[in-house]
Amino acid sequence: MAKFMADHRIGILPGDGTGREVAVEAQRILNTIEANTNQGFEQTVIECGGQLYHETGEEWAEGSFDFCRDEADAIFLGAIGHPNAFLPNGDLAGGSVILGLRSGLDLYANVRPIKLYEGVPHKVHGKFTQIWEPGMVDMTILRENTEGLYHSLLRRSADRAMGRPPYEPPEMTFPGLEGEVAYDPRPISEHGSERLIRMGFEIAETRNGAPIDGVKRVSCIDKSNVTRGCQLFRRTFDKVSKHYPSAELDYGYIDAFTQWITRSPESYDVVVTSNMFGDIATDLGAVLQGGMGMAASGNIGDKHAFFEPVHGSAPKYAGMDKVNPIASINSIQMMMDWLGRKNNDDELVQIGQLIDQSVADHLRSGDSLTYDLGGSASCSSVGKSIADRLSSKLKEQF
């Protein structure tokens, strides 16, 4: 058995609503890996979010941000958002967690894979009858995660998390507007764009290209016919692309992109875009992979990362053991892949692949699916079933 034990310190932030249930399933996967390999996970659970704020006046305990920055090797976040939990200044309560970490840890890329597994009905036609051929949807969208339209809120949230004085954007005047005006500046920097786009090209090198033709293709999605920030983003894309001659370049405006991604998802491989466009496009993208319950993500920087399902806290399902845990399980898959590549540990990368295979086998078998995929299985039973499959695969392999 174990010659040595690799120990990874993992922060578990369950957050609000159904985030708390899916975090348990994420932990079940970590425990399953630990039981069957030499990889160890020291899990530290940190309560946080809008509900905690509602109850205690704190978004998380003092020192939590410092723990995430200084102690954790990787972080899992369930969900943030409690109805009516807002700070006195109107900002989202729990924002210091999700947005504070994104900005405060400089997690510049929000990486959101969109993949339709065999046996999963996509949601474009509304019913559970239409299933595209498996493999038709397999793309990764990279959403810029530290600037753009979110910039001021991200900064304020990080300021709170880090105990800095709160940032307010400079006063601006807008000729022709009358009465009260509210605005959120949308700064886009060359540096912020460059590092995001570079990661997009790097990810393209690890993938098999677009489903339709196997061509490695990186799409720059913006609104450069209208905004200056997007013009800089597209110029930066062209500059970075020179270093990656093997990828085919593709360009689109965000409005048209929403049609193309729905009509011909098979043409897309890697997509890079700005913050708010990526927020919106990835909810649409989730529909192509069977819904929000299937959408995993990684908030990734050069040093730190946190992984979270894209779905929110879904308050109406909270505590019912009902929601789909696969978005969370696949977020742990992304965590293993990231940790493995960062530490040059092939075993972790392989473990990530085995999680993917366990999810794929589970979905192909079709026998225990949550309500969103047309079944009636509980969150925990799906989590257990996938963990059991993973356990057998790990036993075989290691």
Binding site for Mn ion (CB under 5 A): 279
Beta strands in 160-223 (DSSP E): 217-222
Backbone angles phi, psi at 138, to 5 degrees: -160, 85
Q: Minimum Å distance from CB 306 to ligand IPM?
A: 11
Taking the least distance from each CB to ligand IPM, the nearer of 81 and 285 is: 81
Tokens of 178: 């009358």
Taking the least distance from each CB to Mn ion, the nearer of 13 and 286 is: 286
Q: Which of 21, 222, 279, 337 binds ligand IPM (CB under 6 A)?
A: 279
Taking the least distance from each CB to Mn ion, the nearer of 109 and 348 is: 109
Q: Which 8-state DSSP code applies to residue 127?
A: S
Which of Mn ion, ligand IPM, none binds 360 (CB below 5-8 Å, type-dependent)? none
Q: Minimum Å distance from CB 307 to Mn ion?
A: 15
Tokens of 311: 């779905």
The C-alpha atoms of residue 228 and residue 91 are separated, in whole angstroms, by 27
Q: Minimum Å distance from CB 165 to Mn ion?
A: 28
Mask of contacts with ligand IPM, 223-262, x by CB under 6 A? ----------------------------------------
Taking the least distance from each CB to ligand IPM, the nearer of 41 and 76 is: 76
CA-CA distances (angstroms) from residue 37 to 84, 108, 166? 44, 32, 45
DSSP character string of 336-379: HHHHHHHTT-HHHHHHHHHHHHHHHHHHHH-SS--GGGT----H
CA-CA distances (angstroms) from residue 163 to 139, 145, 299? 38, 21, 22
Question: Do 175 and 229 touch, CB atoms closer than 8 A?
Answer: no
Q: Which of 81, 100, 200, 229 binds ligand IPM (CB under 6 A)?
A: 81
Residues in region 298-357 near ligand IPM by CB under 6 A? 310
Taking the least distance from each CB to ligand IPM, the nearer of 74 and 360 is: 74
Strands 6-15 and 138-144: unpaired
- Reduced to 3 states (helix: H, G, I; strand: E, B; else coil), residue 327 is helix
Which of ligand IPM, Mn ion, none binds 98 (CB below 5-8 Å, type-dependent)? ligand IPM
Q: Minimum Å distance from CB 172 to ligand IPM?
A: 23
Q: Minimum Å distance from CB 318 to ligand IPM?
A: 15
Which of Mn ion, ligand IPM, none binds 250 (CB below 5-8 Å, type-dependent)? none
Taking the least distance from each CB to ligand IPM, the nearer of 188 and 351 is: 188
Q: Which residue is nearest to ligand IPM (CB)?
A: 279
Taking the least distance from each CB to ligand IPM, the nearer of 59 and 279 is: 279
- Reduced to 3 states (helix: H, G, I; strand: E, B; else coil), residue 292 is helix
Tokens of 308: 């979270």
| Number of C-beta neighbours around residue 172 at 10 A | 8
The reply to whether 98 sits near ligand IPM by the rule CB under 6 A is: yes
State the residues that interact with ligand IPM by CB under 6 A: 80-81, 92, 98, 279, 310
